[in-house]
Amino acid sequence: MKVSVIGTTGYGGVELLRILHRHPVFNIHSIHSTKEEVPIWNEYPHLYNILENQIEKINFDRISTDSDVVFLATPSGVSSKLVDEFSNKDIKVIDLSGDLRLKKPGEYERWYKKESANSQLIEEAVYGLSEWNREQIKRSKLIANPGCYATSALMGLAPVTKARLIDTESIIIDGKSGTSGAGKALSKGSLFAEVNENFKIYKVNEHQHTPEIEQQLLTWHEGIRPITFSTHLLPMTRGIMTTIYVKLRGQYSTEQILYLYNESYQNASFVRVRPEGNYPSVKEVAGSNYCDIGLHVDERTGRLTIVSVIDNLMKGAAGQAVQNANIMFGFEETLGLEMMPLYP
């Protein structure tokens, strides 16, 4: 099957190329950017003698005619315009930006400080949290791929939220990400001298994944109240660790909560629920599509601590996008994604 990728000069785009290059069904037919038309290895020399594709200008008619699916690895504010051009064409679209995720009018403008996409497209887009929205993804032509922090947080919270075991006013999410999550755009905050041997909080109570997390939690439990969500920058390239704290409604042991999570994710090939007393680290999922989860109930306080880790470029972006493409076309969702984590 033929695949086009728009936005291949960013980290999410080049990660898509890494996955699709070895995918047994999807073939990279064309790659596109608004930058100059040069071989992709000119932008990413590590692809020399591996991918010879030329970066092409965006031609909507040609992409729609030649390819079966197009991935949009473009920034928020750009994707919405591209999706609009594909809306009446016979091609499936997976958007990795935040442009189609927020359904409530005014939320996108408030959190992203940009003009929102066409309301009809937002309504049509299915939220691509693969393990929890499989049936909707199967029937969809347009996917809003989840954000990296949102993926990690929601995978950690889903089982206890759906089982209604938590105090809905008690959710605290502490997220920490590597620098690749900020993309390639130059900024003072991502300079080596600013990040190296440093650890800092950013976008305090203002991160744009906040309403995305709340929106999905509300589909699982209508009583969910606003969350507290903090984000921090780690001095490393890849990875997200999300530590979540929630108050339990009733007395439960770690063993009981682990049983719930193992039951919830028994058919989820990319979710590994760690045994009691074992907690994941970001390096243990690096370069893979896994989400690893560790749990502990503090019986003294009645709080549950959830540790969820992903690779922000894989399960948090390109990996989940390809997983969604597999589901859309009726393939095994693990196809082309069964790579072992890179360690050490």
pLDDT at 187: 85
* The pLDDT value given to residue 237: 95
Contact 34, 58 (CB under 8 A): yes
For residues 159 and 260, is the Cβ–Cβ distance under 8 A? yes
State whether the Cα torsion 308-309-314-317 is positive or negative: positive
Tokens of residue 70, six digits: 């197009």
pLDDT in tens, 141-180: 999 999 999 999 999 999 999 999 999 999 999 999 999 9
Render pLDDT for 42-94 as a digit per residue (tens, 0 to 9).
999 999 999 999 999 999 999 999 999 999 999 999 999 999 999 999 999 99
Q: How many whole angstroms separate alpha carbon 64 and alpha carbon 338? A: 29
List residues with catalytic annotation: 148
Domain layout of the chain by residue ranges: 2-146+315-328, 149-312
By CB neighbour count within 10 A (0-12 exposed, 13-18 middle, 19+ buried), where does 95 fall? buried
- Reported as a single tens digit per residue, the pLDDT across 88-119 is 999 999 999 999 999 999 999 999 999 999 99
Burial tier of 151 (Cβ tally within 10 Å: 0-12, 13-18, 19+): buried
Architecture category of domain 149-312 in CATH: 2-Layer Sandwich (3.30)
At residue 289, the pLDDT reads 98
248 burial class (0-12, 13-18, 19+ CB within 10 angstroms)? Answer: buried
Please check the confidence at residue 182 and state whether its pLDDT lies above 90: no
Per CATH, the number for 2-146+315-328 is 3.40.50.720
- In the three-class reduction of DSSP (H, G, I as helix; E, B as strand; rest coil), residue 136 is classed as helix
Name the pairing type of β-strands 271-273 and 228-233. unpaired
What is the model's pLDDT at position 9? 80
